[in-house]
Structure 1
């Protein structure tokens, strides 16, 4: 059926590709904007780890965080070192297994998160403005549904 809709109502291959291309471009542009509001030396991927710990709770092993974020253990080790140096997280021995560690947000990490969120809200708010707020609101349920669908099928 080509690039557009198929006859049976399912999205055509071109439509699927175009949809995820737009999401990818939005992700790149929003990450670049996020990078501009973060302190020097803190990358959006570091912020994503803090955001994950805020959303899912801290006290998780690094390997579990790496798996959730779909990054390598080495990348997680480096990122945690950056965050620890900044005082945003700390690793402690697991009470159940002294050989493994757990990652905890510090008060400074929670403050960093709150400041970063405020910066992002200001930056995106200037761009979105009142005239595009409704577009964002209408898109949100569909984006959440697609994210859940992809999350539920990440092992395919």
Structure 2
């Protein structure tokens, strides 16, 4: 493939991924309970997906590519809902550590149950194998983009 064609294809692929992300967020927003934002669900999912015991607000902000102020706002909302607990870091009392609570685990599980119908519709429309086949490329793309931000 010519360089120009490869650039065009790569740009088109990233554009499609961005649009898919926007559409998925909009669908998720409609499905989540009113008190839980997409950003809040993302934090709950981050803890569960990676099996994290606790993480600093700064590390969370970096992981989500948002400002510390933006992450603080999301964490305050989650703390108000009792989905996370923010406490002094035992290793550095000046720092904070965020921990997922049992209520946060249940809220994430409830949110996932709420999206089940939409996910089933996607699987029915596209096939489970199509999702499985896409995973190696998507994981590698995420890893390359993630490494490039450091």
TM-score (norm 1): 0.87
Q: How does 1:28-67 map to 2 (within 5 A)?
A: 28-56=22-50, 57-67=52-62
Q: How does 1:85-124 map to 2 (within 5 A)?
A: 85-124=80-119
Q: Which one scores higher on RCO, CA 8 angstroms, separation ≥ 6?
A: 2
C-alpha separation between the residues in 2 aligned to 1:29 and 1:113?
A: 20
Per the TM alignment, residue 74 of structure 1 is displaced from its structure 2 partner at its CA by 0.4
- Please state if 1:126 is matched with 2:121: yes
TM-score (norm 2): 0.91
Q: Classify 1:76/1:12 alpha carbon distance in 2 versus 1 (closer, same or farther; 3 Å).
A: same
C-alpha separation between the residues in 2 aligned to 1:38 and 1:26?
A: 18
Structure 2 portions without partners, runs of 5+: none
Structure 1 vs Structure 2 CA RMSD: 1.7
Q: How many pairs align?
A: 149
